[in-house]
Structure 1
């Protein structure tokens, strides 16, 4: 697998180099030179395969000879060892549950795969790998658990003070060992900017071997394609061949992975980009003008991103053909009041509890179906996190129906380990340089 920077199509790096370097020095993002289509026989018979088998086939198709077959299979069997079921709520309406991994969020797919890939590529005696990651909520916990105890790695997680839920904060600040947490007095965009600036700082790159665990790292994007193919496999088992995916979207890595799966041959009728008040992309899809803006805090905090990093990858997939992109992707946005209404409607009518991000994806699918009714097409909305992570969002009646997993209960007795810093790069750089 050879990759180029979205800012320089003449550059060429290996998958290993892209994983470790994370972001090119020209500040683009890595993309594969070729995206091979999976053969029709596999797609048409994908219902006969398990999730790990699908994941192996998809990864092998993308990565080529970057990792030998036997090693890749072993890596995937270890990383993707939890289910991702679709649950039928009514005719042609399904929820894809992506919260059955260790951190109870869809980020487990990317974080676990990436940590195993990095560990696989690390050679004995090599310089310690310093992994920097900005989180708006779920990424931090998934990366912390994915890398916890991985030899010769050290993870530094930056999260915005007061803008993640209590459970999310516990997941990313109570690990110790090789996991460090920085509480940034700012927004997620500020955290992301600090990480990106570190990658192009000569002094930091001279002293440390830096890489990212955010979705700017191509090793995060690849495994997120797995659950789209697996969802389609589950639909095929029910005789359904047409699908629309509604994706709660913040940094646009999740829907970016879905579009990558489509590029590889997954038959998708439409992607719905569902956002909260941070509506940079829905506005672009309406006006054709891409205008990043400062992020605002919402109940769906993991989507509080004003300048989505992965949008450049999506634009690159379509070679900046806006009209072709708009043929496949539509955008919807919702405020907090609409989010709460959606949570309550889903609970009252289905007896099902959705987190605020998932509620937005459901509402977008519902609104899309108002104008696009099709009896032979399934609408699948992605559930990106377990609702127990957002206890303050729900009414007492809804909260009472949430089964809190044991690993969350155990967090309550653990001590928060976090260092407070400002959003100034000098503060972040000083912290990194001052730690052995």
Structure 2
């Protein structure tokens, strides 16, 4: 299997090279040249199997023989061993045909751990086999940075630089990044919003001289291996609820479109998905796009669900690539400069609507849902999960279809907003105790490409190597 750029200007790469490279050098995103399949018999054989077995079934198809079964299994087992729940991503019923998929039992209490713990081990293995070093520069709206800091801490072949919007992540999210004491982890508080952080990272990726000098890589959901690893929990939930003989709908809180893209790829691989519900907060570019056909970034509005405070959804490019019939020239023309937005064609929009629907929730609506869920079920959910639950309630799906809302973060990561919604402060898991009391390390930096580049050049050990 080869990985090609959505913009058509990069040489195809194998799985390992695409994983280390992250963003394609032409500014596009890597996608497989064809989606592998899981036929009904294979899906049936996976029903009831451990999460790790399902993860291997998925990743082995994307790795396409570049890593041995033993290597993949070892990395997957080690990654999932960091999770506190034996099911890894347990499914909880909250009403008739309504379920929550708890994705927050990993080390940093957010869904990003599922893929990041695996990705860190895969990258470490590939670099060690090649005798190389890498510099990872990543942008985060909160959870990606925390998950990356935990997964990559202490890894001798990798330096990690995390850009986060100063003052626009929760206290818990910030501390999960800034209290990591390992010398290879560097947190940069950018004077701007997440889109500024993401813009800087993309600019560094396409600067060929800089990229090669620091051996740059990325672990945002721009990295295909992240998307591939997230497919597993869609399989886990759907097979638990009766797939392949029964279709399942998923409501996904999303800002950067990476998490829901994994559901789309699961569908393309053969998982019977009834509907993928895009759940957004007031930063509703994806909801607006599906309703109007026009993708037009606006200004980021800070919210109580900060991981979704995004107006440029990077992974949407991968979907546009498929909707366009994999027309790289069309994608490049429309997405290279987003200052004026772009239009989906009528056939593209119609095709998107055959699988996707959408909904939005502002802060007041989110607060209300948190209170309602607590009153109805006794469960305390975080703000992002509440956004997903509101969209799930409003979605039009066939009678009898199970609807699974992805619960992307533990409520203790957003205690003030959760308490405002249900009147109870979520209990703090043991994993957070040290984080909330340890000293922080962070460097403030302007939302400027050169300012960030200078810090990376000064601190990255790959430069000297």
TM exceeding 0.5: yes
Q: Give the Cα separation in 2 of the matches to 1:398 and 1:332.
A: 22
Give how far 1:240 is off. Answer: 7.7
Alignment of 1:1-400 (within 5 A): 1-8=1-8, 11-81=11-81, 82=83, 83-123=88-128, 126-177=131-182, 178-236=184-242, 241-319=246-324, 321-368=348-395, 371-372=396-397, 374-375=399-400, 377-395=401-419, 398=422, 400=424
Are residues 197 and 276 of structure 1, via their aligned partners in 2, closer, same or farther at CA, if it must alter by over 3 Å? Answer: same
Segment drifting more, 47-56 vs 243-252: 47-56
2:439 maps to what in 1?
Answer: 415
Evaluate the alpha carbon distance shift between residue 430 and residue 9 of structure 1 in structure 2; reply closer, same or farther with a 3 A threshold: closer
Secondary structure of 1:112's match?
Answer: helix
**How many Å separate the matches in 1 of 2:212 and 2:57?**
38
CA-CA distance at 1:223 after TM superposition: 0.4
Quote the Cα distance in structure 2 between the aligned partners of 1:327 and 1:43: 23
Deviations 1:74-115 (A, max 9, x none): 111111233101101111000000000111000001211111
Contact 2:418/2:425 (<8 A) preserved:
no
Q: What secondary structure, in the 3-state scheme, does the structure 1 residue paired with 2:273 have? A: coil
Pair 1:405-2:444 in alignment: no
Q: What secondary structure sits across from 1:305 in the alignment?
A: coil
- What SS does structure 2 have at the residue aligned with 1:11? coil
Relative to structure 1, the CA distance from residue 143 to residue 317 in structure 2 (aligned partners, 3 Å threshold; closer, same or farther) is: same
> Is the CA contact 1:240–1:378 (under 8 Å) kept in the aligned structure 2?
no
**TM-superposed deviation, 1:350:** 1.0
1:316, CA displacement in angstroms? 2.1
Preserved CA contact (<8 Å) 1:99 1:106: yes
Structure 1 unaligned residues grouped into runs of 5+: none
Distance (Å, rounded) in 2 between the aligned partners of 1:148 and 1:313: 30
SS of residue matched to 2:262: helix
Which aligned runs of 4 or more in structure 1 are off by greater than 6 angstroms? none
Query: Matches of 2:127 and 2:261 in 1, distance apart?
Result: 27
User: What secondary structure does 2:136 align onto?
Assistant: strand
Cα distance per residue 1:103-141 (max 9 Å; x no partner): 100000121111111011013683421111111011111
Residues 356-384 of structure 1: per-residue CA shift (max 9 Å, x gap): 1000100000011xx44512x10100000
Change over 3 Å in CA distance of 1:270–1:206 after alignment to 2: closer
Q: CA RMSD in A?
A: 1.8
After TM superposition, the score normalised by the length of structure 1 is: 0.95
Deviations 1:279-311 (A, max 9, x none): 111111111111122322111000011010000
1:413 Cα deviation after fit: 1.9
Q: CA deviation at 1:10?
A: 7.5
- Secondary structure in structure 2 of the residue aligned to 1:67: coil
SS at match of 2:53: helix
Q: Residue 164 of structure 1 aligns to a residue in which SS?
A: coil
How many aligned residue pairs are there? 432
| CA distance in structure 2 between the partners assigned to 1:69 and 1:393 by the alignment | 44
Q: In 1, distance between residues paired with 2:75 and 2:323?
A: 31
Q: Distance in 1 between matches of 2:254 and 2:361?
A: 12
| Farther-moved stretch of structure 1 (426-435 vs 133-142) | 426-435
Mapped partners of 1:298, 1:319: distance in 2: 33
Deviations 1:333-368 (A, max 9, x none): 111111101111111111111111000100000011
Secondary structure of 1:143 counterpart = helix
8 Å CA contact 1:2–1:12 kept in 2: the answer is yes
Q: Distance in 1 between matches of 2:234 and 2:202?
A: 29
Distance 2:22 2:92 in 1: 35
Cα distance in 1, alignment partners of residues 127 and 359 from structure 2:
42
